[in-house]
Amino acid sequence: MLDFMENVQNAFYEASHWNLDNSYGALNATARALLDFQTPKGLRLQISSLAAPNFATSYTLGTVGVVDGSVSYLYSSLPLTRELKSSNLDLHHVIKGYRHLQELRKPDEDWWWEIWHDGKRIDRRDTLLYGRIFLPQSRLEALYLRRLTPTKQLRISAVSDSSLNNGGTILTLLQKDTGKYSTEYMYSTDSALMGFRGLYNFGVDPRLAPTTPVTVPQILDPVHGRFSAGAELYYGLLNKSGGLSTGLRFTTLPNHPGFPYTMTLTMNPLMGNLSSTYALKAGPNLALCSRFDFNFYSYESELQLGCELWRRRRNTEVEWAVKKLRPDWKRPAVAPDDDVSGILKARVDQDWRIGLSWEGRIKELLFTLGASLDLKKREQIFRAVGIELQYSS
């Protein structure tokens, strides 16, 4: 489950019209959500608040052997309108699961962002500032995010920790998203790492609008899926080492008549790693996923299976009684997940290592209950058990 500050950052992306899914880093987002979810360890409590549309705070207290915690602050120059109270927010915004990719959106025109007053431009670029300190380790994290143009974004993240080389590291990303393709240029002070990532979407270019009226005979069959290809290249100037990876993805779009599904294939030719994933939305409440990894050099392989099940409350008896007693009564509109009682996630690999997670909401609290098991170690089957509670106002 996303913590409060991650949800606030996603709200900033949504308000500034930035597509998180249209990047090479999000190529395997569905598989990671269904197979690489984190299970809590020990007890962790988070209390957060959006004190104003532009300012948020969060406090976390945990106990995993020792008592630790963190304090976070976030400022956004763009007012955030998404519902963030734990009692009212949409669970789909905080629970990572199967990702339904939408139709590519045409980027905003540059002049849409212009604000003029008395013949002078007074508009400013949207900016997000975020800081978090971990106690008692005194580890500090910071984020500077700035929208440069409707298609460009600058992201600078930093970590200060005495356990890291040189006491910390800074990562800079210059991102560009035109809808048809996206690029990222990155530089990290760790080993003076420089890199490039890109993703290209085949098919219709959302930037191009039809210049002639469309008549009935000209209407083409709707596109039910999207094929994307991308690559990543990076090189460390200090350690004189580099890396390369490529990937393919095919996913269905909302107008697909059958079950939604996503297939990906990624390869790292230098390390010899090949990974393929297949995720299927088998129903409104069920998603299945598999991943197969293979190494050409060592001939080692790994298989993982996972699922996600949304459990909903049954009110058939109440609805039947309402129809009999008050057939003309209309129930008030409720949130899309108002009837959700919990979300179960499970994964297992070929070595019988199992991960379980139960997420949901009780009154005004969001909770995550999880466990990691290793069935081959009979003397200690449970590797970790924990619960995480979140409250936001």
**Residue 217, Cβ density class (10 Å: 0-12 exposed, 13-18 middle, ≥19 buried):** exposed
Q: Which helix (H) or strand (E) holds 260?
A: none
Token readout for 380 is 């200690």
C-alpha 341/C-alpha 360 separation (Å) is 6
By CB neighbour count within 10 A (0-12 exposed, 13-18 middle, 19+ buried), where does 211 fall? exposed
Q: Which helix (H) or strand (E) holds 34?
A: helix 29-35
Give the residue carrying structure tokens 């990702």: 99
Per residue in 242-282, pLDDT tens?
A: 899 999 999 999 888 889 999 999 999 988 999 999 999 99
CB atoms near residue 53 (< 10 Å)? 12
CATH number at residue 336: 2.40.160.10
Q: Answer for the pair 201, 181: CB distance below 8 angstroms, yes or no.
A: yes
Question: Which structural domain range is residue 364 located in?
Answer: 4-392
* Coil/strand/helix, residue 353: strand
The pLDDT value given to residue 105: 86
pLDDT at 167: 84
At 364, list the tokens.
Answer: 């005004």
Whether residue 309 contacts residue 344, with contact meaning beta carbons closer than 8 Å, is answered with yes
Residue 143, pLDDT score: 95
Q: Sign of torsion, CA 104 110 111 117?
A: positive
Q: Could you tell me if 28 and 34 are in contact, meaning their C-beta atoms sit under 8 angstroms apart?
A: no
Strand-pair category, 273-283 with 286-295 = antiparallel
Report the distance separating Cα 360 and Cα 343, nearest Å. 6
- Rounded to whole angstroms, what are the CA distances from 98 to 52, 139, 215, 366, 372? 31, 33, 37, 20, 21
Q: What type of residue is 35?
A: L
Are the C-beta atoms of residues 314 and 339 closer than 8 Å to each other? Answer: no
Peptide bond into 107 cis (omega under 30): no
- State residue 239's pLDDT score: 86
The total number of structural domains that make up the chain: 1
The confidence score (pLDDT) of residue 216 equals 46
State the Cα–Cα distance between residues 191 and 309, nearest whole angstrom. Answer: 42
Please report the pLDDT score of residue 393 as a whole number: 86
Q: Residue 177: name the closest of 7, 26, 9, 5 by CA.
A: 26
Query: What pLDDT, on a 0 to 100 scale, did the predictor assign at position 335?
Result: 53
Which phi and psi angles does 284 have, rounded to 5°?
-65, -20
Cβ burial, residue 79 (10 Å; 0-12/13-18/19+) = exposed
DSSP state for residue 81 in the 8-state scheme: -
Q: Which residues of the chain have pLDDT under 70?
A: 209-222, 313-339
Measured CA to CA, the distance from residue 219 to residue 37 in angstroms comes to 43
Q: DSSP character for 203? A: S
Q: Cα–Cα distances in Å, from 248 out to 59, 202, 266, 291, 306? A: 40, 11, 6, 14, 21
Q: What is the pTM of this model?
A: 0.85
> Quick one: pLDDT at residue 290?
96
- Classify 4 as helix, strand or coil: helix
DSSP letter at 36?
Answer: S
